Amino acid sequence: MQPVRRISLIDQTAEQLRQAVRGGRWSERLPGVLRLAAECDVSTRVVRAALRQIEAEGLISGQGPGRSRGIAASAPCRIDIPMHPLRVGIFFHDAVADRQLGYMVELQHALEAGGHVVFHAKKSQVELEYDLRRISRLICETPADAWVVGAGTHEVLKWFSTHPVPSIALFGRRRGLPIAGVGPDKVAAYTEVTRELIRLGHRRIVLLCRKLRRLPEPGSSERAYLKELAAHDIQVSQYNLPDWEETVEGFHALLSSLFQVTPPTALIIDESPLVAAAQQFLAAHHFLVPEHVSLVCSDNDASFAWCKPPISHIRWAPGPVIRHVVRWAGNVSHQRVDLKQTQFPAEFVRGGTIGPAGKVRELQH
């Protein structure tokens, strides 16, 4: 009988990295040693030894001290067109708003360019009122090989994480769930927005966001906003993060109630279609931006650059997010399990719609 060969931790790590390179996980360069050590759950010493092994094999090449190793030109490239094109369903959070977002259109085109067939679920989470029974019935009755779930609630994404059809959370409350996910990290940008408004003298700041960002508890970005308010001795209440019915009528009813008593001097709104609705409301009631009310969108939209003054907003690059989803779909098409969750940085763009806190009259009827 042949003796059992014990594989060292360095060899195991080298094989893990070797498969990742050959599978096309990275396009041109490997991540740094610290990140690789965290992903492989080993020490940096083990990673460095493993990297020396696969560098000797010619799969990767050193780029000099302090620089990430490059993937050799001779290494197998990622297959962009999948062996088995997928039927990819997009399950919108709110179809009315999400269809207008430029990056959702770009995502669909990118998936189609990868050889997949893309379609939209007949109804959105909002239309189904977040009812898991109705959602599960719709998804189970809809033929699909993979699902992209837009801005899902924790409960919705938890259901998808147990569904046999692979899915990826595009934004949404995915933390702690065994589901692939991608989106921007806005925590630092929210903190900067809030701090800048407070510096300009604003004390009545209101954040308008969807139910999924408020319940069952505020998300990480919303918590950063509330924490910054409290740090400047602003008493935090439901006024700062109000509840509202997610309909056109519900949104306008919320604005009316806000400006009837203790009108806010600054609004942070989490979607560009809702910003447009708020601008229309403010103009109809003769409130000027930013003279009376400062306005910030926590998302980006190409139309903001056409506004005069440009809308203050939080910007993130959709390209890396879209490429992440396309790579995930490629992995699914090759029957590879991919539960990786990735966040990309976001930044605050000041624009011209914020200014010193002004005096805002109460709304008269």
Residues 246 and 261 in one domain: yes
Residues 135 and 202 in one domain: no
CA distances, 203 to each of 228, 244, 297, 356 (Å): 12, 22, 18, 11
Q: Angle CA(248)–CA(133)–CA(217) in degrees, nearest 5?
A: 60
pLDDT in tens, 163-187: 999 999 999 999 889 999 999 999 9
Residues 322 and 225 in one domain: no
Residue 156 amino acid letter: V
pTM of the model: 0.72
> What is the full DSSP assignment across 186-228?
-HHHHHHHHHHHHHTT---EEEE--HHHHSSS--HHHHHHHHH
Look at the chain and report how many structural domains it folds into.
3
Is residue 355, in this structure, part of any structural domain at all? no
Please measure the distance between the N-terminal and C-terminal CA atoms of the chain and give it in whole angstroms: 92
Domain boundary among 300, 316, 332: 316
| Between 6 and 59, residue with greater pLDDT | 59
What is the span of the domain harbouring residue 133?
87-184+317-343
Which tokens go with 187? 């925590």
Q: What is the CATH number of the domain that holds 202?
A: 3.40.50.2300
Do residues 149 and 167 make contact, with C-beta atoms less than 8 angstroms apart?
yes
Residues in contact with 267: Cβ distance below 8 Å, sequence separation at least 6, in sequence order: 205, 206, 207, 208, 278, 293, 294, 295, 296
Quote the strand ranges of the chain, DSSP E: 60-61, 70-71, 87-91, 117-120, 146-150, 167-170, 180-185, 205-208, 266-269, 294-297, 312-315, 341-345, 347-349
Is residue 261, in this structure, part of any structural domain at all? yes
Compute the average pLDDT of residues 313-322. 92
Domain boundary among 316, 332, 357: 316
| Between 73 and 18, residue with greater pLDDT | 18
pLDDT at position 27, please?
Answer: 63
Mean pLDDT of the chain: 87
Average the pLDDT over each of 68-77, 138-147, 163-172, 287-296 and give the range with the smallest value.
68-77
Residues 310 and 258 in one domain: yes
Is residue 349, in this structure, part of any structural domain at all? no
Is residue 163, in this structure, part of any structural domain at all? yes
Strands 146-150 and 87-91 turn out to be: parallel
Average the pLDDT over each of 20-24, 221-225, 234-238 and give the range with the smallest value.
20-24
Q: What is the CATH number of the domain that holds 18?
A: 1.10.10.10
pLDDT in tens, 231-278: 999 999 999 999 999 889 999 999 999 999 889 999 999 988 899 999
pLDDT in tens, 87-106: 999 999 988 777 767 788 89
